[in-house]
Structures are given as structure tokens and as C-alpha cells.
Amino acid sequence: MNLPSLKRTLSRMPFKWMLTLWSAVLIFVLFVAYNTVQYVYVEKWMMAQEKKQARQKMNEVLNGLLEREAGFAEDELLRNRSYLDKKNQSDQMIRIIDQHGDKVIAVSDGIPEEWIAPEVKPETEIVVTDHAGHSLLVIRSPITIHSFHGTVEIVRNIDQFQRLTEAILRVFLFSGLGAVVLSGLGGGLLARQLLKPLQLMARTMRDVERKGVQERIAVPDKEDEMTTLMKIFNEMMDQVERSFSQQSQFVEDASHELRTPIAIMDGHLSLLLSWGKHDPETLEESLNISYHELTRIKALVQDLLTLTRTEKDGLAADEVTVRADRTILNIVGQWEQLHPQYTFETKLTGFADREVVVAERHLEQIMMILLDNAVKYSEVGSPVRVTGSVRNEAAVFEIADSGVGIPEKDLPYVTDRFYRVDKARSRKQGGTGLGLAIAKRLIERYNGQMTIQSKESAGTTVTISFPCRAHADGREVKVQ
């Protein structure tokens, strides 16, 4: 198998096998490297010990011979032989040769002389050699006593040492084989443990696909990367479930709201089709009502669109309104013209060198919703007060009316979609129940806040606030 096709096979391998393979290979390589280093080190150390002992023996023999001022004439050989015999040990040979390489004396225990040919050496030398399957350590040193120049040779059989190192090597090899099996098993076990949470997640995802978004992962009671991932997944599913139910609720509410005007139009148009068109009075009335309901549907669709758009968008871009007081005065002015029977009071201070973090068109839209409500739910002629000031880096606006107010039990819900305290009244006034929901979501997009205080039959005060800061270049900017 060449390298590219091996790569392809590896990349196609299931994750579990890949994890098993890599962890097994890693454990194996580490084990083999560790054993090899250990083997090489032990073998070197043992050989160094052998050589050290051989050198010591050589020094002993040389010193002994020098001290005795040994001579190597025929009559002295016997004495020296017995000395060398004493110094010798099993599996060792001591041989003295003259400068021509001819043997002078040799004592041996277990090593035949012919295994090693005599060699004259001008300097000490240690070699490891083989003969007939035996490992031999040979040390040679020159010796000079009076007129005798020769070489002392000590030959040691190191078969024991070789057997020991071979045994160690075998142990290492067998344990290496064991390591292959164990690291394969260990790798598999590791992969299984690591993949367990992932498999759990995959199973839950499949359940979500089959049974629905209410399925969750049972998160084990511990803190690690996997449980964090599982918690994130569960939170995400909570969010998905919430938005699913919100969406279906929204569609339900919207179709419910559309049903009434459509039913009214249906009734009147059927009436006209059957006989009503021949009666001018009925024709006029039915057309008027149908037109009115159509206008409601148009307003509702428009509000629904605005609402979905504000819900879809996240936090708004850093748009600002410079001189928010003028923007609000403009809107209130338009409202005064539309509703001359109401009195509008305004008091806006502190905005000359400030910019309010809200897009001007959105500030206008919010003010229109709140002013519309203040007028819709008040008696004709009652006052509407709009105030605004800057407090602690926030622009705070209050829209207060002296109208019908909101009952305490309804107060928490008036910003919900389609929530209306008095459905009939709201409908009559052309309300869709979406105004405050739109206003609230728009305000939240700018990190602003809206609070409503109200007392039945006394009036309502809506307070809205937005972050605000000194105007960037400190100049007054004219707003048309």
C-alpha cells in the first residue's frame, strides 16, 4: 500500500478506530523506545563492568609479576606457573608470550589455548571475539622485566554475560509483543470511554429528529469539557423549543386576530351577494363595514410585520438620535394637529449636547405608539404630559395620561402580543394589541427599558429610557 492510499484509508476510518489505532501506536512506540534505551544502557553497563574486571585482573597479574621480578628461564617457570594458577579462575586463561609471539607460560581453566592465537601488543588492548560459538573477552598488555619483553594475555569466557543479555532482550521482546496487545485493548477502551458522551449526544439528536424538540441529554454529575458541551446542547434545545412554541403561538394568535374581521367581511359580502346589493342602505352599510375591517386587517398585517422584524433583529447598530427633544416635540406637534380636542404638555430638558442611543425613526415609532395609547384610552379633552430629562447617562422619557388606566392584574401582560384589557374598546379604537409589544422589543434592542405605572380610572404613566452620552463633537446639530 503506497503512502497516498494509506492516507486515504486512514482518513476514511471511523473515528473510534482511528482513536484506537493512534493511541495503540503511541503507547507501543513509547514502550518500544523505552525498552530499547533500557536494553542498550544495561548491555553497555554490563560490558563495561566485564572490561573493568578484566583490567583489574590484568593489573593484579602484572603487578604480581613485576614485584616478584619474575624471570622466564626454564627453572623459574614452575614457580611462576603456580603463581599464575593461583591468580587464574574458572573459564579464564592467562598466557605469557615472548616478543616473537611464542608461548612462555599458559594456565587455563576451561579455555583451550588454541581458541585464541597469541598476539604481541605494544599497548594494552581489550577485544571481544568469538570462537566455536563462545564469546571471549581478550585483554593483552605488554610486560618488560629485565631483558624479557613479552605480552600477558588474559582470555575470559563471557558466555554467561551473553546469555544474560540475550535473556533480557527476549524479555523485552516478549513484553513488547504484550504491549502491542495491551495497547490495542487499552486504545480501544480509551476510545470507547472518550466516545461514550459523543454517542449519547448523537443518540439524543436522533431522538430529537424522531420524537421532537423536547428531548434532552441526561448530563452526568461532573464538570468537564464533555458535560459543558452537553449543557450547551440542552440550553440550545431549550431555546429551540421556546422559539418553536412562541412561533406556533404567534401563528395561532395572528390567525385568531384575523379571523374576526374576515368573518365580518365574509358575512357582509355574502349578504350583498344574495340580496343586499339591491337595497341601497344595506349596500352602503355593508361596504362601509367591510372597508373598515379591511383597514383593520391592513393595520394588523403591518404591525405583525413590524413585530417579526424587530424580533428577528438582534441588538441594534450603534445608531443615535441627536437632539431627541426636538424629535419628540415634532411628533407631539403632529399629534396635537390630529387630536385638537386633547391638551398636550411637554417638558424636555438637558438634550442640547446629548445623543440618545436609539435610531430616530424608532424613537418616533415608539412615541407614536405611546401617544396613540394615551389618546385612545383617555376621555376627550384630558391632558397628556410628555417629559424628558437626562439622568445618570440615561435619557428618560415619561408619557402620562389621565385616562382609564390599567387594572393591576393586567399590568404585567399588556406588553404581550395581542393582550388587551378591554378587547371591545381596543377594537373599536382600531387597536391591534401589538403596539406595546412592538415598543418593548424596539426599546430592548437598544438596551433600553420600559416600565408602566397605572391606576384604574386615574391614568397611566409609561416610562422609557435609553443609554445616552455627550454628543460626539459637542456641537448642536439641527434636526429637521
Strand 449-455 to strand 383-391: parallel, antiparallel, or no bridges (unpaired)? Answer: unpaired
Question: What CA–CA distance (Å, rounded) separates 159 from 36?
Answer: 22
Segment near ligand ADP (CB under 6 A); pick from 319-327, 389-397, 417-425, 470-478: 417-425
112: amino acid identity, one letter: P
Our finding on whether 414 is near ligand ADP (CB under 6 A) is yes
- Sign of dihedral through CA atoms 12, 15, 17, 22? positive
Distances (CA, A) of 63 to 57, 141, 384: 10, 12, 125
Q: How many CB atoms lie within 10 A of CB 293?
A: 19
Our finding on whether 420 is near ligand ADP (CB under 6 A) is yes
42: amino acid identity, one letter: V
- Sole binder of ligand ADP in the list 81, 422, 449, 467 (CB under 6 A): 422
CB of 372 to ligand ADP, least distance (A): 7
Q: Is 108 helix (H, G, I), strand (E, B) or coil?
A: strand
What single string gives the DSSP state of each residue in 17-40?
Answer: HHHHHHHHHHHHHHHHHHHHHHHH
Our finding on whether 404 is near ligand ADP (CB under 6 A) is yes
Q: Which of residues 426-455 bind ligand ADP (CB under 6 A)?
A: 426, 431-437
Spatial CB neighbours of 165, under 8 Å, sequence gap ≥ 6: 42, 43, 46
- Give the per-residue contact string, 126-145, with ligand ADP (x = CB under 6 A; - = no): --------------------
Query: Which CB, 233 or 419, lies closer to ligand ADP?
Result: 419
Query: Which CB, 111 or 421, lies closer to ligand ADP?
Result: 421
The cell for 127 is 577485544
Segment near ligand ADP (CB under 6 A); pick from 91-99, 135-143, 146-154, 420-428: 420-428
Q: Which of residues 337-396 bind ligand ADP (CB under 6 A)?
A: 373-374, 376-377
402: amino acid identity, one letter: S
Our finding on whether 460 is near ligand ADP (CB under 6 A) is yes
Query: Which CB, 85 or 456, lies closer to ligand ADP?
Result: 456
Our finding on whether 421 is near ligand ADP (CB under 6 A) is yes
What residue has cell string 443615535? 320
Query: Which CB, 78 or 458, lies closer to ligand ADP?
Result: 458
Query: Which CB, 356 or 406, lies closer to ligand ADP?
Result: 406
The footprint of ligand ADP (CB under 6 A) covers: 373-374, 376-377, 401, 403-406, 414, 419-422, 426, 431-437, 460
